[in-house]
Structure 1
Amino acid sequence: MRILTLALTLALTLALASCIAPYHPVLSGGAEARQIRRDVWHIFIRGPDFPSAAIAHDFVLLQAAQTTLARGTHFIVLSPAASHMATPGEGLVIRIIAVRPGKPAPAGAINADQLAQIVRARIGKD
């Protein structure tokens, strides 16, 4: 009787375990940058795994800042698709520029280093 109970318990456990959805990490989609021209980039969401549109926006902005810092200091948003930043494949088109120390940035230019610090603090990503 004890072996039968153990066998049934094991069979039930295995049956229930097979019903569990596979693990997918939160935010596995992430944001991506694709180069359009030498200084123009498309920054977009890769998947729908973000818990909110606000977090998706933050990851697009962080990716824009990181992409800019690898190539310059500031960026200008060319297509303000803010309403679509949470939709996979949609996002921002930015132009990366380098502003020399002590020189003013052009109107509308966003300091990538400052933006990265703000967004990292907001999402808790060091």
Structure 2
Amino acid sequence: MLKDAATAVRERAYAPYSNFKVGAALRDAAGAVHVGCNVENVAYPEGTCAEAGAIAAMVAAGQTRFTEAFVIADSPQPVPPCGGCRQKLAEFAAPGAKVTLATTSGLIFETTVADLLPGSFGRAHMEASGG
């Protein structure tokens, strides 16, 4: 189900500059699926990654935790999320959240959010030290 959702939304990506379309799907803690695709902008750093779009859709639907993610792109090898998206995924991932990275030709790499971003910066780092 996540694979189908990510594959379908990838086709709607707006990538006129790179022609590198990415689709992402998240399953939230309640079981609902949320999707996102990359959206480029001629002012390059202003684009949005597929993972960020899926997270935004999940939050807009009232959920803040996902248990599984699926990301697909047309590339020779499965494409890992960029550094910023790794941090975004870590913010909303349930403990042990699975991430499947895939290519349109069928290659699959399965990992976890924790393995994608070891030693991640989290909420606990923001807590006052009590001084």
Q: TM-score, normalised by structure 2?
A: 0.29
TM-score (norm 1): 0.30
Which is bigger in relative contact order (C-alpha 8 A, separation at least 6)? Answer: 1
* Greater strand fraction, Structure 1 or Structure 2: 2
